[in-house]
Every structure is written in structure tokens, then in C-alpha cells.
Copies of this chain bind each other. A is one copy, B any other.
Amino acid sequence: MEVLNRHVSIRKFKPQPIPEKLLDSILFSGTRASTTGNMQWYSIVVTTDPAQRKKLLPLHFNQPVAANAPVLLTFVADIHRFSEWCKFNKAVPGYNNFLSFFTASIDALLVAQNVCVSAENLGLGICYLGTTTYNAKEIIGTLNLPELTFPVTTVAVGYPDETPELTDRIPLKGIVHHETYHNYTPTDIAELYALKENLESSKRFVKENGRESLAQVFTDIRYKEADNRFFSEKMIKVLREQGFLE
């Protein structure tokens, strides 16, 4: 499917805003995604206001794309609204637990991907900001998110001002397993990651960072164990504060 197969993340946008009707149209396509029990345990917070953008920027580690895009969409796992509906209808909600949080996250992420596909189909570009879970606590404060909500991802959207090439992917046979999971031999792994390792940009990263392998660039610099542990603890603490681990 062309719109899916030609996807590239856009990190440089034209200054022009997204017309309200166009934005509504892509958000509407989001809401057509499947959700558990059709309960729609998600919300979408639209950020366009410069003051709000300025507050969110450092929470996304000042990534240029977060400053550059005319719109940021924060996808929120949201059981607050549904629980309010329960309370207003003589029903006792029992969704302040981890399974429910994860279910709501699934809902929010399927919606997010629908929104992205719809946006790209209409000529917009998108970039996911994986930083959302790192600074969920501060994003919750900035967006005024209530109990039983949690921001799971953010998407920067706008009119593309660059045309990047397709990025590398592991060949399909390295991703797909038939009937049961097949384990990987060192030879399998070498073959599956060869394309990535042999990119000019990869070789440059390894050299510039004085490393022995591309994998070391990931483990020692880009996605370090110490950071992962720090942000894991922080995320679990926020889940507790938001009422999801009662």
C-alpha cells in the first residue's frame, strides 16, 4: 500500500499551519480505529499555541522537530472519561490497574497510527516523538491530564519541507516467524543487520564515537542502560501517581 510503503519521518516542516478542517479529518480517521470493547480509552491533545509549545519542547529534549512542526498531537491512554461515565450511571469502574492501563495504551497507539497514515495520505508529514514516556510526569502537568490518563506518544505534524529517502529495515524474513518463534544464529543476525551496519551514516557514527561496532553506538550512546533504568523507575512512579497501580 503506497502510503504505508513510502513512509518516512519528517523532521523539517514548512511554517504554514494545518487547516482546522484538514486536522479534524485526520483525527476523525483516528477515531475509526478498533479499540477494546469499543470503549475508546484514549484522548488526543492538540498543541498549536506557542506558549504551550515552548513548555513541551524541553520535555521532548529540545528535538528540533518538536519546535519546527506547526502541530503536536499527544496521544493519551485515557480511562478517566470512561470512568466518569460509569460514575454518572450508577456503575463502579474498576480500571485503576496495570492491565487496564496497557489496554488503554493499545487503544491510543492504534488511533495514533491511523492519524499518521491519514495525515500522510493527505500530503502532511509526521514524526513520532518517543520522548513522551520519558517525561510523562511533566507532560501530564503541562497538558493538565487528570487521574487515570497517561501520555503514551506524541506526533509532530505539518507540511513537509524535506524529502528524505526511505530508511533501512530488517528483511521481512527476519521479522516474521511461522507457527513458532525461530531463534537467530550469529550468521542470521549478521545477515539481518548487514544493511544497517553498512550504511555510510552508520559507519560515520561508529567512527565519530570511537566505537568498535554500530551496536555499541546504541548501547553506549543512544539508548543507554542507565537512562533506561532511570526512566523506567520514573515511568512506574508516574503510573502509580496517575492511579493505574492501585
Contacts and interface: CB of A to CB of B under 8 A. Distances in A.
A221 to B, nearest CB: 10
Contact of A235 (B36, B94, B99, B228): B99
Contacts of A29: 1, 4-5
A40 B169 contact: yes
A144 interface: yes
Interface stretch (A57-65, A157-165, A210-218): A210-218
A172 B110 contact: no
Interface string A83-105: 01110111111110111101101
A89 to B, nearest CB: 4
Interface string A222-239: 111110110110011000
Given A114-B117, A219-B94, A105 B103 contact: no
A146 B182 CA distance: 9
Counting contact residues on chain A (CB < 8 A from B), the size range is 35 or more
Given A5-B29, A98-B232, A103 B133 contact: yes
Interface in A10-69: 24, 27-29, 31-34, 36-40, 42-49, 52
B117 A181 contact: no
18 contacts: A1-B118, A4-B29, A4-B33, A4-B117, A5-B32, A24-B172, A27-B175, A37-B222, A40-B170, A43-B177, A46-B179, A84-B184, A88-B215, A94-B228, A99-B235, A102-B133, A103-B130, A106-B153
**Smallest CB-CB A-B distances: 10 pairs:** A94-B225, A91-B215, A89-B215, A113-B113, A89-B213, A99-B232, A109-B109, A4-B29, A144-B180, A98-B232
Given A31-B175, A89-B216, 20 more contacts: A1-B122, A7-B32, A27-B172, A27-B175, A37-B218, A40-B170, A45-B180, A48-B178, A81-B192, A89-B212, A90-B213, A91-B219, A92-B219, A92-B225, A93-B225, A98-B236, A102-B133, A106-B130, A113-B114, A143-B179
